[in-house]
């Protein structure tokens, strides 16, 4: 080979080595860059799957705000803390060798919701809207559910990567001495290549290897090695077909859909839970007010009874009874206060806030709930009239009367209509139905493993390598396709022993049966949920209307017994019983209304009609509009 040709080859080799080195350096990205790319891939997947699963898009990120409401409370109210972890990830001290993980993009890191209302004591006063948004931003269970969706999206990104063309490259340098031949030299190797799996099942790979061997003793001879090869493998029977090869990716895609469905179901249940606890805390606060009023009434009763006793109009026993009930009422008042504090602390934990944070709930929400009673239940309040024959024969025929449709609450649907709506909208039914289809696909995959394996293989190699300093005297290698080695073959794997595959196939059929049973169970439970929710609505509606009348009667009874006691027509025991009945009626009325409101939300959740956005706020279903449209048709 003439010197000019040798120099030209060495130039090509230098270019190839530089190319491999540049590709390797390009692949050496920082940890922050890898995080950014992983976040971007997952975000794109979630955005795409939201449209497919839910028919809408909404912001989704697992990156916590730079300052959460929890952190603000810890700092502003100077709450006790163990260490930096008490304030959040951003406050952690970075240990030695901590990588540069980067920061979220500004648009990806949402601002935490911060309530604005503060009372005169510096306590935050939360409305229900505040509580829902704070829970979405601070609740630990809410964050865990979001991270579950994100991790599922990352897994799908990995499955999709299986069908990308992947490149690899290595550089190696070796210094060696051969004592037998008294030769010292160095060998450098640059290798680059690619690999690609196609959706048909075919695997294609190729590589280029450059070896440069140089003696560092004697004449300093140099030899160049060049090797290029490629191979392909195509399955023709077992493992062939797009539906077989892409099954892991298909399942990963469906897993993201299921994760989004699960997250939506969680948001619905969590929003109803927050509302339930919110109103329960306010209900307990109302119990304190009622207990205090009862205590003050009994204080007046004790004073009045003692005055009557001094006049000889009551006995000492009646005075002691009144005093005992006064002590009992004081105890009930204290218990109500402790119960309020306990429920408020538990509610703070649900929101993801410290239990010792100084916050209160807005009583205006309770006032609005009471004001909306007629809107929820209608303004018809039937009077309870029971007529019983003296002989009592009609007691056997006593039944609960059917409710006039005009007297129903706003969400009290006919049962068949409600069940049909649930069948159409419930996301857990979609998941269960999808599980059946997934199980069927696994049967197909298991059946494919019972087939014989037949692979068509091909290989092409040309050039030669330089393995050590002993080959430094060899002439430079050339990439000459006309002087290469080529092969084409087939490999047949007969299915003579398929015990494990046979068992796996039979188990896959069993899983289909199990998936169908699970679907049927969920379907039946959906119907049960709807029927129970409708029954609960009816029960709480009737209970509220009954308690309205019971409260009116109890208030009248207290006034009458007090007046009768003054004129000697009632004793102290009558007044005490009437006061206790009034307290129970007050608490029962509020309890029925709160439970009816929660039952409304639960029914919308069970029908799959309640929607909760990324801020944690719900959008209730406009039932009247749908009914009007149906009537117009």
Label residue 504 by pLDDT band (50, 70, 90): very high
Q: Across 96-110, 422-436, 468-482, which has the greatest mean pLDDT?
A: 422-436
More confident residue, 381 or 103: 103
CA distances from 481 to 114, 464, 478 (A): 71, 12, 9
Chain segment 37-62, per-residue pLDDT in tens: 899 999 999 999 999 999 888 899 89
Q: Alpha carbon 512 to chain centroid distance?
A: 27
Residue 375 has pLDDT above 50, yes or no: yes
Residue 369 has pLDDT above 60, yes or no: yes
Q: Give residue 387's pLDDT.
A: 47
Residue 182 has pLDDT above 90, yes or no: no
In the chain, pLDDT over 70 holds for what percent of residues? 88
Label residue 31 by pLDDT band (50, 70, 90): confident
Mean pLDDT on 290-306: 91
**Residue 491 gets which letter from DSSP?**
E
Residue 384 has pLDDT above 50, yes or no: no
166-172 long-range Cβ contacts below 8 angstroms, 24+ apart: 166/194, 166/195, 166/196, 167/23, 167/192, 167/193, 167/194, 168/192, 168/193, 168/194, 168/195, 169/20, 169/21, 169/23, 169/24, 169/27, 169/193, 170/20, 170/24, 171/17, 171/20, 171/21, 171/24
Residue 389 has pLDDT above 50, yes or no: no
Label residue 221 by pLDDT band (50, 70, 90): confident
Q: Give residue 311's pLDDT.
A: 84
More confident residue, 355 or 26: 355
Q: Give residue 2's pLDDT.
A: 44
Mean pLDDT on 482-502: 89
Across the chain, mean pLDDT equals 85
- Measured CA to CA, the distance from residue 360 to residue 342 in angstroms comes to 13
Q: Which helix (H) or strand (E) holds 89?
A: none
Chain segment 505-528, per-residue pLDDT in tens: 999 999 999 999 999 999 999 999
Q: Give residue 544's pLDDT.
A: 87
Mean pLDDT on 85-93: 84
Other residues' Cβ atoms within 10 Å of the Cβ of residue 572: 24
Round to the nearest angstrom and report the end-to-end CA distance of the chain: 91
Residue 21 has pLDDT above 90, yes or no: no
Residue 395 has pLDDT above 70, yes or no: no
Q: Give residue 572's pLDDT.
A: 84
CA distances from 61 to 47, 136, 142 (A): 11, 12, 12
Q: Give residue 16's pLDDT.
A: 55
3-state SS class at 619:
strand
Residue 27 has pLDDT above 80, yes or no: no
- Measured CA to CA, the distance from residue 338 to residue 246 in angstroms comes to 59
Per DSSP, the residues of 415-478 read HHHHHHHHHHH-HHHHHHHHHHHHHHHHHHHHHHTTSPEEEEEEEEEEEE---SGGGTTSPPP-
Residue 8 has pLDDT above 80, yes or no: no
Label residue 481 by pLDDT band (50, 70, 90): confident
Q: Give residue 14's pLDDT.
A: 55
CB 463 within 8 A of CB 9: no
Q: Give residue 417's pLDDT.
A: 93
Q: Give residue 632's pLDDT.
A: 33
More confident residue, 227 or 374: 227
Beta bridge partners of 228: 208, 462
Chain segment 522-572, per-residue pLDDT in tens: 999 999 999 999 999 988 888 888 888 899 999 999 999 988 887 778 888
- Measured CA to CA, the distance from residue 100 to residue 30 in angstroms comes to 8
Mean pLDDT on 315-341: 91
Mean pLDDT on 229-247: 93
Label residue 445 by pLDDT band (50, 70, 90): very high
Residue 471 has pLDDT above 90, yes or no: no
Give the residue extent of every domain in the chain.
164-248+452-499
Residue 106 has pLDDT above 70, yes or no: no
Chain segment 117-165, per-residue pLDDT in tens: 777 777 899 999 999 999 999 999 999 999 999 999 999 999 999 999 9
Label residue 385 by pLDDT band (50, 70, 90): very low
Q: Give Rg (Cα) of the chain.
A: 39
Query: Which residue, among 122, 216, 139, 211, has the nearest Cα to 171 in the 3D structure?
Result: 211
Q: Give residue 117's pLDDT.
A: 76
């Amino acid at each position: 080979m003439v010197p000019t040709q040798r120099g030209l080859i060495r130039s090509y080799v230098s270019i190839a080595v530089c190319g491999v080195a540049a590709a390797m350096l390009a692949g050496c990205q920082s940890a922050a860059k890898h995080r950014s790319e992983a976040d971007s891939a997952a975000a794109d997947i979630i955005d795409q799957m939201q449209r497919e699963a839910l028919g809408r898009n909404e912001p989704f990120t697992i990156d916590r705000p730079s300052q959460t409401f929890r952190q603000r409370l810890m700092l502003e109210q100077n709450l006790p803390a163990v260490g930096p972890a008490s304030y959040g990830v951003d406050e952690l001290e970075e240990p030695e060798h901590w990588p540069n993980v980067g920061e979220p993009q500004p648009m990806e890191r949402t601002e935490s919701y911060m309530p604005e209302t503060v009372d005169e004591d510096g306590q935050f006063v939360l409305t229900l809207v505040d509580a829902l948004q704070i829970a979405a931003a601070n609740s630990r269970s809410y964050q865990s559910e979001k991270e579950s969706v994100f991790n599922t999206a990352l897994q799908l990104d990995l499955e999709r990567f299986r069908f990308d063309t992947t490149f690899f490259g290595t550089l190696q340098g070796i210094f060696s001495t051969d004592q037998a031949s008294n030769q010292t030299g160095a060998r450098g190797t640059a290798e680059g290549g690619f690999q690609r799996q196609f959706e048909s099942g075919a695997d294609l790979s190729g590589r280029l290897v450059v070896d440069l061997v140089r003696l560092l003793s004697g004449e300093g001879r140099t030899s160049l090695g060049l090797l290029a090869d490629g191979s392909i493998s195509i399955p023709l029977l077992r493992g062939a077909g797009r539906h077989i090869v892409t099954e892991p990716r298909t399942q990963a895609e469906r897993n993201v859909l299921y994760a989004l469905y699960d997250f939506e179901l969680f948001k619905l249940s969590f929003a109803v839970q927050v509302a339930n606890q919110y109103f329960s805390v306010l209900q307990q606060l109302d119990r304190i007010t009622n207990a205090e009023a009862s205590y003050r009434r009994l204080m007046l009763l004790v004073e009045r009874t003692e005055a009557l006793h001094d006049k000889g109009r009551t006995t000492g026993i009646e005075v002691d009874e009144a005093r005992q009930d006064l002590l009992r009422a004081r105890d009930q008042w204290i218990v109500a206060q402790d119960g309020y504090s306990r429920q408020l602390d538990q509610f703070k934990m649900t929101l993801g806030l410290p239990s010792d944070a100084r916050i209160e709930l807005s009583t205006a929400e309770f006032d609005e709930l009471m004001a909306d009673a007629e809107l929820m239940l209608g303004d018809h309040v039937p009077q309870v009239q029971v007529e019983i024959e003296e002989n009592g024969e009609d007691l056997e025929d006593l039944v609960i009367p059917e409710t006039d449709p005009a007297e129903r609450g706003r969400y009290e649907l006919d049962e068949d209509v409600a069940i049909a709506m649930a069948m159409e909208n419930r996301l857990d039914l979609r998941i269960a139905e999808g599980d059946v289809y997934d199980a069927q696909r696994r049967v197909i995959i298991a059946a494919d493993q019972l087939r014989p394996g037949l692979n068509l293989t091909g290989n092409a190699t040309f050039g030669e390598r330089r393995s050590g300093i002993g080959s430094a005297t060899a002439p430079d290698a050339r990439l000459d396709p006309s002087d290469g080695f080529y092969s084409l073959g087939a490999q047949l794997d007969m299915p003579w022993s398929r015990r494990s595959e046979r068992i796996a196939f039979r188990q896959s059929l069993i899983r289909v049966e199990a998936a169908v049973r699970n679907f049927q169970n969920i379907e039946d439970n959906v119907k049960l949920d709807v029927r129970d929710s409708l029954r609960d609505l009816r029960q709480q509606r009737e209970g509220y209307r009954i308690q309205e009348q019971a409260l009116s009667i109890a208030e009248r009874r207290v006034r009458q017994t007090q007046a009768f006691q003054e004129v000697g027509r009632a004793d102290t025991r009558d007044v005490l019983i009437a006061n206790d009945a009034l307290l129970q009626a007050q608490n029962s009325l509020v309890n029925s209304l709160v439970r009816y409101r929660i039952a409304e939300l639960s029914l919308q959740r069970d029908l799959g009609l309640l929607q909760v956005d990324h801020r944690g706020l719900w959008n209730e279903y406009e039932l009247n509009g749908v009914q009007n449209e149906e009537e117009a048709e």
